Chains A and B, each alone.
Chain A
Amino acid sequence: MPGFRRQGKDLQMSSNEIAIKVEGLSKRYEIYDRPGDRLKQFIFPRLRKIFGLMPKQYFREFWALSDISFEVKRGETVGIIGRNGSGKSTLLQIICGTLTPTVGRVQTNGRIAALLELGSGFNPEFTGRENVCLNASVLGLTKEETDARFDDIVAFADIGDFIDQPTKTYSSGMMVRLAFAVIAHVDADILVIDEALAVGDVFFTQKCMRFLRNFMKTGTILFVSHDTASIRSLCETAVWLEKGVVQDKGLSKNISEKYLEAFYEAQQGKGTTTRVKAQASDAPSIPTRDPRLDLLNGSNLRNDIQLVELDLDGPSFGLGGAQISAVKLMDAAGNPLSWIVGGEQVTLGIEAIAVFDLESPIIGFFIKDRLGQCLFGDNTYLSYMDSPILFAAGETIEAKFTFDMPRLSPGNYSITVAIASGTQEEHIQHHWIHDAVSFKSEVSSTVAGILGIPMGKINLSLKTQ
């Protein structure tokens, strides 16, 4: 095969810290229009070579992956993000060893267990029990080891009597349950998971997440998805694949933001207008009210939330039909705040200037935690759905959201704001600013969960009979 580099002996790595190493990986698929062409390709180029002629190609090339290189360190959780057809699954299959790369090399360190698509490697005619034994055996477990773990696997899968039915009778959810149960019990060093978890119900997904978070302490995970939220919540770093090439790699939060931007840009084209300068009057010189004064003698668990910065020039994208010119947090009286207390009412004001005439503008926001997980958010669409406002070029519009700020667990938070036009389902993003406002929660009385809501009443009393 032209361009095929023969893999040599396995490299002995000096460092044991790397779990997966991918170097210059490319994968070419040969697409034949007629089955006979495959046979011709097999015979004629060799014959022509013998007679010293130039070999002729009987196929069209499709490069599913080109020149992919990255490393995954031991214990790291890496996400691979990309749209359908970007080569994610091909890459995973090559790493697992089921597909052969055309060029480049892959090295892995440790036992790999993979959950590729639904019911990886299950034989539909075999019963669940037989498939478990078979899969475990393929993954390198002896019969005795499999027998010892069998009850745990069945308990984890929790599919009841279906374990003795052929897997062709399984629902897709049951299939994933069983497949995941197997790979969770084979003492893998590296787990490769291909967006299959989405099929399971919420209880099973939670169980898997618990397992994965526990596994992450020691093992390496390669997680593939086109869903930015799950990548952000699970992975530290991410690799973004686009049309078979690595578009970017880095912290999963940054990568998923860029990916999201590209997604909108692909749908509506890239914005071309230049930024409107934020108005000077919005500079934080206005004295801000500090509600700490009102609560001077409050408890030491008071949820003080400090506004760290207002950054309207941060990473943003959009078509540019309107520009967000100011974002501020205010108290009920309309005074800008530099300090918020969880549980108090705040008003988030977002101002925007129209560059073009826009019909039905929508202004929205959401608040994210440090992992980039969206905690909550809202937009103006439903409230103004029946009486859309015409937003003429040059005008300024302001949206105000008044809500009770939840008590937030200690950590950094940010508010993403955006202006769009259209409807909830179909809209054009004009200006989307990642992390326009960031703030920090120092201490909190929140006991569990990612945020605390005001409790109506908490009572503890002894019941007398």
Chain B
Amino acid sequence: MNFQNPHRPQPTSLISLAKSVVIHRQLIWQMIKREVIGRYKGSVFGLAWSFLNPILMLTIYTFVFSVVFKARWGGDGSDSKTQFALLVFVGMIILGLFTEAFNRAPSLILGNANYVKKVVFPLEILPIISLGAALFHAAISFLVLTMAILVINHHLYWGFVFVPLIFAPLVFFTLGITWMLASLGVYMRDVGQPIGILTTVLMFMSPVFYPVSALPPKFQSIMMLNPLTFIIEQSREVLILGRTPDWGGLGAYTLISLLVMWIGYAWFQKTRKGFADVL
């Protein structure tokens, strides 16, 4: 048996991240399960809420935007209310996935002070667990979307198989942001405060209720700076409009999001030593 130094520097490479995920896969799985089930614990309908929530949201947004505001989708989409609902829903799923993780990020470590101070817990997996739970809910919503497409359009485009490829960079990107915010939130409690406002801003500044093409050309390029824009647009192309993804753009986006993930992870690993002192 070799000597270990419990205070050796935490590894920051993506390989060490992959190792950690493999080593702690059972723990991650158990905690995601706990988190998903725990949310509805004590409620009568239980997991059914995972289905009901997206359906209710979809109904409300469709009503408000297409009936009350009489909003029209930009040129290429069909103008029917059902098509509008489907297009909005795609955006909602992606926005929901990101904001669920984003909202909880600053309190991830703060809310689990026990794991920092009382046991030697693999803290780096907390953002993965939080994202895992968000992914589960996104998957349920996606199932609802698939059924809605089948019911309304009577067929699925073969581009469905590309969905994991489009979602993967979003997952990387979200993880990177979550690591970053989780660590910052410990040192600066203020980080949690503007998150709610930012979420609302993100909802309207992302092409959820409208396509990017509906904007004047000079705003379109600014819009592309929003990390969600590309993913939402690509998902619509593939799922509803039946086109192939923009491979070049997707490749570049994946590289950037991997970089974001690595920076976020490295930052988290570098700063985690101080967590116990601050909490």
Instruction: Write the residues of chain A forming the contact surface with B, with a CB cutoff of 8 angstroms.
Output: 6-7, 9-13, 16, 21, 29-30, 35, 38-39, 42, 93-101, 105-110, 112, 114, 116-117, 120-123, 125-126, 130, 133-135, 137-139, 142-143, 189
**B30 and A137 contact, CB distance less than 8 A:** yes
Contacts of A122 in B (CB 8 A): 114
For A101, the closest partner residue in chain B by CB is: B7
Check B45 for interface membership: any CB of A closer than 8 A: no
Can you offer 24 A-B residue contacts whose CB atoms are under 8 A?
A: A9-B8, A10-B4, A12-B2, A12-B3, A13-B2, A13-B3, A93-B276, A96-B6, A98-B116, A98-B118, A98-B119, A101-B7, A107-B5, A108-B5, A108-B6, A109-B3, A110-B1, A117-B118, A120-B114, A121-B119, A122-B114, A125-B38, A134-B27, A143-B26
Contacts of A138 in B (CB 8 A): 27, 119-122
Contacts of B270 in A (CB 8 A): none
Query: Could you say which of B7, B8, B31, B115 has the most chain A C-beta atoms within 10 Å of its C-beta?
Result: B7
User: Complex Cα distance A195/B6, Å?
Assistant: 22
User: Complex Cα distance A367/B120, Å?
Assistant: 44
**A134 and B277 contact, CB distance less than 8 A:** no
**A137 and B27 contact, CB distance less than 8 A:** yes
**A98 and B276 contact, CB distance less than 8 A:** yes
**A7 and B7 contact, CB distance less than 8 A:** yes
For B6, the closest partner residue in chain A by CB is: A97
Smallest beta-carbon distance B214→chain A, Å? 41
Check B189 for interface membership: any CB of A closer than 8 A: yes
Taking CB atoms and an 8 Å cut-off, the chain B residues in 76-129 that contact chain A are: 112, 114-122
Instruction: Write the residues of chain B forming the contact surface with A, with a CB cutoff of 8 angstroms.
Output: 1-9, 24, 26-27, 30-31, 34, 38, 112, 114-122, 187-189, 273-274, 276-278
For A35, the closest partner residue in chain B by CB is: B189
Contacts of A134 in B (CB 8 A): 27, 30-31
For A38, the closest partner residue in chain B by CB is: B187
For B9, the closest partner residue in chain A by CB is: A7
Contacts of B115 in A (CB 8 A): 121, 123
For A189, the closest partner residue in chain B by CB is: B1
Contacts of B2 in A (CB 8 A): 10, 12-13, 109
Contacts of A11 in B (CB 8 A): 3, 5
Contacts of A95 in B (CB 8 A): 6
A97-B26 in contact given A39-B188, A109-B3, A121-B115 (Cβ < 8 Å) = no
**A109 and B119 contact, CB distance less than 8 A:** no
**A98 and B120 contact, CB distance less than 8 A:** yes
Known pairs A93-B117, A94-B7. 19 more at Cβ < 8 A?
Answer: A7-B9, A9-B8, A10-B3, A10-B5, A11-B3, A38-B188, A93-B276, A99-B276, A99-B277, A100-B274, A106-B5, A108-B3, A109-B2, A121-B115, A121-B121, A122-B114, A123-B115, A135-B119, A139-B119
User: Complex Cα distance A16/B188, Å?
Assistant: 43
**B121 and A106 contact, CB distance less than 8 A:** no
A109-B121 in contact given A35-B189, A95-B6, A126-B34 (Cβ < 8 Å) = no
Contacts of B121 in A (CB 8 A): 121, 138
Query: Could you say which of A21, A38, A138 has the most chain B C-beta atoms within 10 Å of its C-beta?
Result: A138
User: Complex Cα distance A120/B113, Å?
Assistant: 11
Contacts of B276 in A (CB 8 A): 93, 98-100
User: Complex Cα distance A35/B187, Å?
Assistant: 9
Contacts of B274 in A (CB 8 A): 100
A100-B7 in contact given A38-B187, A122-B114, A135-B119 (Cβ < 8 Å) = yes
Among A109, A123, A139, contact of B4 (Cβ-Cβ < 8 Å): A109
Smallest beta-carbon distance B26→chain A, Å? 5
